[in-house]
Structure 1
Amino acid sequence: MLTKSTQRKSVNLSIDANLLAEAKALNVNVSRAADAGVAKAIASRKAELWLEENRDAIEENNRYFEEHGLPFAEYRGF
């Protein structure tokens, strides 16, 4: 999920003081943890958008299979 880019950009952001203190006490690299958190949020949002964009097709497929059943269902051994 994270890229191996060496290019980094400094930004100002606010972090809960207790979280920052705990991260420092546990030697957590806050910048890398923030990268991971933002990457996870991006992936989650992209998945949400994909589902929204494809909702009609997914629902249509579901309706088709409910009406007609799965292809080759009679050959399934489970």
Structure 2
Amino acid sequence: MSIEARKAHDLTVSETLVAEAEALGLDITGAAEQGIARAIKAEKERRWKIDNAEAIKASNDYVAKHGLPLAKYRMF
């Protein structure tokens, strides 16, 4: 297992959020990292959908016109 390099970075965060997180015993750094990771994932998915919209539409159009390939072998 490799250890990922870390980079210190200053973030400005709402005092209310920090106080509430501390009161709940949350790991603020870990929570921030998880939130950033979720935001990155969501943005990558959004961009992928935009980049592949034409292919997705073509696939959906094909299925609408011809049905699912190998549909006769479906067990459900």
Secondary structure at 1:14's aligned position in 2?
Answer: coil
Within 2, Cα distance between the matches of 1:4 and 1:43? 21
Within 2, Cα distance between the matches of 1:77 and 1:10? 53
Q: 1:31-70 residue pairs with structure 2 within 5 A? A: 31-70=29-68
Structure 2's unaligned 5+ residue stretches are: none
- Alpha-carbon distance, 1:26 to partner: 1.3
Question: Once superposed, what is the RMSD of the aligned Cα atoms?
Answer: 1.6
The structure, 1 or 2, with the larger RCO (C-alpha pairs under 8 Å, 6+ apart) is 1
Within 1, Cα distance between the matches of 2:57 and 2:48? 14
Within 2, Cα distance between the matches of 1:75 and 1:10? 55
- CA deviation vs aligned residue, 1:21-68 (integer Å, no higher than 9, x gap): 011111111111111000110011011111111000000000011001
State the partner residue of 2:12: 14
Over 3 Å counting, the alpha-carbon distance change for 1:4 and 1:37 in structure 2 is farther
Percent identical among aligned pairs is: 40
Count the aligned residue pairs.
Answer: 75
The alignment's TM-score, normalised by the length of structure 2, stands at 0.86
